Amino acid sequence: MKYLVRDKLLAIGDDYWIEDEDGRHAFLVDGKALRLRDTLELKDPLGRVLITLRERLFGGLGLPGLRDAMTLERDGKRLAVIRRKRLSLLRNHFRVTMSEGTELDVSGRILDREFKVEYEGELLALVSRQWYRIRETYAVDVVREEADAALMVAVAVCAIRMVEREREEGDGS
């Protein structure tokens, strides 16, 4: 199942719908601005929180090393932590460590919205702009039926936010 995400709507404080490939509302992203962290809530169409995405904001205090992770929570408990795995000029690599200890790999050209999420080499989701010609839009294609779609969307959003923050900090903004 493919989910359509509009890039320009990913600002903290903004709310927006992620639609499925049939144009139905699949997830509501509720952007919340808090003092020490940015928080996004991924909700179902009825408004129930599925996953909370938290990002530290200590980087603005001259401590960029503390902004190296985002935490995903479900029902108030840590579900996963996403961190940069290794640095590369052409590709980004992230590791998603699940609370039970399993790990997902995220790799590709994240700023270009062309990357994949894998578990032990098996493709779970593919993120790409190639399916849509709408500007500022990409799709999260959850390839495995048993994969948690909300988790795949949340991982994609986290990876993109982290790479964009790094780029902004590198530009001096």
Q: What is the pLDDT of residues 53-104, one digit of tens each?
A: 987 554 444 444 445 789 999 999 999 999 988 666 667 899 999 999 999 9
- b/e code 106-140 from CB counts within 10 Å (16+ = b): bbbebeebebbbbeeeeebbbbbbeebeeeebbbb
Other Cβ atoms within 10 Å of 150 Cβ, number: 21
Helix (H) or strand (E) holding 164: helix 149-170
User: What pLDDT is recorded for position 140?
Assistant: 95
Write down the pLDDT at residue 136: 76
pLDDT tens, residue by residue, 97-126: 999 999 999 999 998 999 999 999 999 999
Confidence class for position 32, pLDDT limits 50, 70, 90: low
Query: What local confidence, expressed as pLDDT, does residue 161 receive?
Result: 85
Share of the chain above pLDDT 90, in %: 54
Q: Which two tokens stand for residue 167?
A: 């780029």
On whether the CB atoms of residues 19 and 4 are closer than 8 A, the answer is: yes
Q: How far apart are CA 113 and CA 80, in angstroms?
A: 22
Q: What is the mean pLDDT of residues 138-160?
A: 94
Mean pLDDT computed over every residue of the chain: 83
Q: What counts of helices (H) and strands (E) characterise the chain?
A: 1, 12
How far is 3 from 17, CA to CA, in rounded Å?
10
pLDDT per residue as tens digits for the range 79-88: 999 998 866 6
